[in-house]
Amino acid sequence: MSERLLPTGSCWCGCGTETGIGSFFARGHDKIAEAALMKAEYGGTVPQLLAAHGYGPDKSVTEAAVREGWIHCSVPGCTYVGAEASVRNHEAKPHKEKLP
């Protein structure tokens, strides 16, 4: 299990903005921090991010996420996986049958 992080009152993107109680980021700054991390550490590409953590065509990051609590769509033949709420939303939509 990961270390429990606590908000500090300052935005974690590094901008210095004061945040509300219980918040790590000023509004929208979580996405700024995510994009900045991707650029600073992985050249701005998801393949570089995956490879840096040992994932790729031969080691599935989605399978790792399923081991950590993601679930599979219950529709036969569907390969969608995600957080429970995302999968339930996905399952509520019509599924097209896969062609051979």
Whole-angstrom distance, CA of residue 44 vs CA of residue 31 = 13
Mean pLDDT to the nearest integer, 76-89? 95
pLDDT at residue 97 in the model: 59
Model pLDDT for residues 5-63, shown as the tens digit of each residue? 999 999 999 999 999 999 999 999 999 999 999 999 999 999 999 999 999 999 999 99
pLDDT at residue 99 in the model: 47
Structure tokens at 75: 């529709």
Please state, in angstroms and as integers, the Cα–Cα distance from residue 72 to each residue in 48, 57, 80, following that order: 26, 19, 6
pLDDT at residue 96 in the model: 76
Element containing residue 72 per DSSP (H, E)? strand 71-72
The yes-or-no verdict on residue 100 having pLDDT over 60 is: no
Whole-angstrom distance, CA of residue 12 vs CA of residue 23 = 9
pLDDT at residue 1 in the model: 60
- For residue 82, the 8-state DSSP code is E
